[in-house]
Amino acid sequence: MDFPRNYNAATDFVDRNIDEGRSDKAAFIDPDRTLTYGQLQETSCQMANLLTTLGVRREARVAMIMLDTVDFPITFWGTIRAGIIPVPLNTLLNANQYDYMLRDSRAEVLVISAALLPTVQAFLPEIDNLKHVIVSGGDAGPYLALQNELANHGEVFHPADTLADEVAFWLYSSGSTGNPKGVQHVHTSAMITARNYARDVLAMSEDDVVYSAAKLFFAYGLGNAMTFTMATGATATLLPGRPTPQSVFETLKNHQPTLFFGVPTLYAAMLADPACAPENGSQRLRHCISAGEALPEDVATAWKAKFGLEILDGIGSTELLHIFLSNRPGDFRYGTTGKAVPGYELKLLDDDGAELGADEIGELVVRGDTAATGYWNQRAKSRTTFEGAWTRTGDKYYRDADGFYHYCGRTDDMFKVSGIWVSPFEVESALVSHEAVLEAAVVAKEDGEGLLKPKAFVVLNQGQDGSGLFDTLKEHVKQEVGGWKYPRWIDFVDDLPKTATGKIQRFKLRD
C-alpha cells in the first residue's frame, strides 16, 4: 500500500472522518457518554495541547492503564497527533507487572482510570522517568484530572509532521510464554490492518455497529473496536467492565451491534450460560469473529446451531498487529483457521528452516506490511522473531490439500508420544466436545520411565463433578483423536491461567 512519506495516523483515522461529513456521527458509546467524530477531533487536539504544555517531547512514551471508555481513544489519538507514543497496558495486571512495564517503557506520563489507580499508587513516586500522572473518570487525588485538564486547552492542534515509517505506538505482548515485550508499530500499520481485514474480509462500512468483548489495550481489541471502526466510519460500543456472559448478552441486546468480536473462552462460556438464547443477543448481527486462541469445532457448531451464524475464526498476533489468517464469509471450514488474509503471505517451516508441503506440521511464518519494527530493547528476541520480511509466529500448523490451515499448538507446547507429534489443541478439542467439559488445557508430563505423555487440566460445566469422569474422558479422547493421545493424568480445576487475550498460559501449568 502506498502512503506518503510524511504521514500521521491521526490525520487518517480522526480528521478524515470530519472531511467526509461524519462530524455529528457517534464514534464511541460507553455506558456514560457518547463521543462523536467531531468531539473526538476536538478532544484529541486538547490532549495533544495538554501533553505539549506538560513538556512531553516528540517520541516520548505515554503509558495508558485505561478501561474501555471514550477517554481511551481521546488519549490514544491525542498522543499520536502530537507525535508522542501511546503505550496501552493490560488493565488486569498486578503492581509488580505495572512497575516493570512503566520502567521498561520509560514512560514520562501515565494516564490511568481512577478505578485502577490504587493498584499502582504506592510505587509511582519511585519511578524516576515518570513525570506526570493524569487520572480519568473519577477522583484524581494529588494528580491531574483528565477532564479538567482537557477543558483548559485549545481544540486546534495540527498533527505533528511524523513519517510513515516512524513508530506511532507500542503494545506489550500478552506474555503467554513469559514476561511481556514492548512491540513497536509504525504509523501506517493500523490502516493497513483495517484495509486487509476490516474491509477485504468483513466488508465493514459506516453502517456497522461494533462490539468487541476483547479490550482496547491489546492488538485484537484495538483493531476491532477502534482502528477498524474509525477507518470505516462505523460506531463502536464500549464496555469498561470484564466481559462476563451476562454483561455481553446485555450489551448485545441493548446496542444491537452488527459485528461481535470475542474469544473462544467467552463463546464457550456464553453457550453454557442459562441466558444463551437468540432473543438475548443482537438481532442485527451479520458476523461473529473469534481470535486469541484457536476455536474448537464443537464450540463453533454449537454457536451456529443456537444463533444461525458462523464464528469466523482467525489468528493474529501483537507482532503483526491483527488477524493475518482467517476463515471468511463464503470460504469457511470448521476446525480450521482458514486461509491467508489479503495482504499477507504464509508458509510453514520445519526445524531446519525448510518449507513444508501439504499435511506437514511446521512453524507458521508470515510476511506482511504490518509487522512490528521489533521489540523494545530486546535485540536477541527481535532477531529470532523478525527475520527480514518474515515474522515467526511460534505457532505450529499444517495446511490441508484445499489450502486451509489447521492449528496444532504453540511451538513450545508440541511434544511427541511414541515418536508421533501430539497437538495439545487437538486433545483439548476432543475433551471439550464431551458434554461434561467446559474448558481443557493439555501439557506434556514425564511418566515413570522419563517419557512424555499428555496431562490434562479440565474445567467442568456447572453441575458436573469429576467422580468417575477420568476413565470416561480417556476413552472419549481415544475415540475422537487416537489411542496414543489420551491424557494419562487429568486434574479437575476451577479455572485455567490465561492472558488477557484468552490464550491459555500452558507454561504455568507445566511449572
| The architecture CATH gives domain 9-187 | 3-Layer(aba) Sandwich (3.40)
Q: Quote the CA–CA distance of 294 and 265 in Å, as a whole number.
A: 10
What per-residue confidence (pLDDT) applies to 181? 94
Interval 345-367 mean pLDDT: 96
Interval 253-272 mean pLDDT: 95
DSSP 11: I
When comparing pLDDT for 289 and 423, which is higher?
289
Query: What's the pTM?
Result: 0.89
What per-residue confidence (pLDDT) applies to 411? 84
Q: Are 64 and 217 in contact (CB under 8 A)?
A: yes
Give the tens place of pLDDT for each residue, 133-142: 999 999 999 9
Which phi and psi angles does 478 have, rounded to 5°? -55, -45
Q: Are 497 and 504 in contact (CB under 8 A)?
A: yes
Q: Quote the CA–CA distance of 346 and 356 in Å, as a whole number.
A: 11
Give the tens place of pLDDT for each residue, 50-72: 999 999 999 999 999 999 999 99
- In this predicted structure, the answer to whether residue 344 has a pLDDT above a threshold of 90 is yes
Q: Quote the CA–CA distance of 70 and 341 in Å, as a whole number.
A: 30
Which phi and psi angles does 267 have, rounded to 5°? -60, -40
Q: Going edge to edge, which strands form the sheet with 489-492?
A: 437-446, 452-460, 489-492
Domain map (residue ranges) of the chain: 9-187, 195-410, 420-510
Interval 16-27 mean pLDDT: 98
Residue 25: pLDDT band with limits 50, 70, 90: very high
Q: Are 231 and 198 in contact (CB under 8 A)?
A: yes
CB burial of residue 423 (10 Å; 0-12, 13-18, 19+): buried
Q: Quote the CA–CA distance of 259 and 206 in Å, as a whole number.
A: 12
Nearest residue to 363 (alpha-carbon basis) of 390, 341, 381, 334:
390
Question: Strand 167-172 and strand 182-186: pairing?
Answer: antiparallel
- 9-187 shares its CATH topology with 195-410: yes
What per-residue confidence (pLDDT) applies to 501? 63
Q: Is the dihedral of CA 429, 433, 438, 442 positive or negative?
A: negative
**Number of residues that make up the chain:** 511
Helix (H, G, I), strand (E, B) or coil at 458: strand
- Helix, strand, coil % (nearest 5) of the chain? 30, 25, 45
Q: Are 456 and 442 in contact (CB under 8 A)?
A: yes
The C-alpha cell that represents 179 in the structure block: 514476561
Residue 178: pLDDT band with limits 50, 70, 90: low
| CATH tag, 420-510 | 3.30.300.30
The C-alpha cell that represents 39 in the structure block: 468531539
Average pLDDT, the chain: 94
| CATH tag, 195-410 | 3.40.50.12780
DSSP 21: T
Percent of residues, the chain, with pLDDT higher than 90: 84
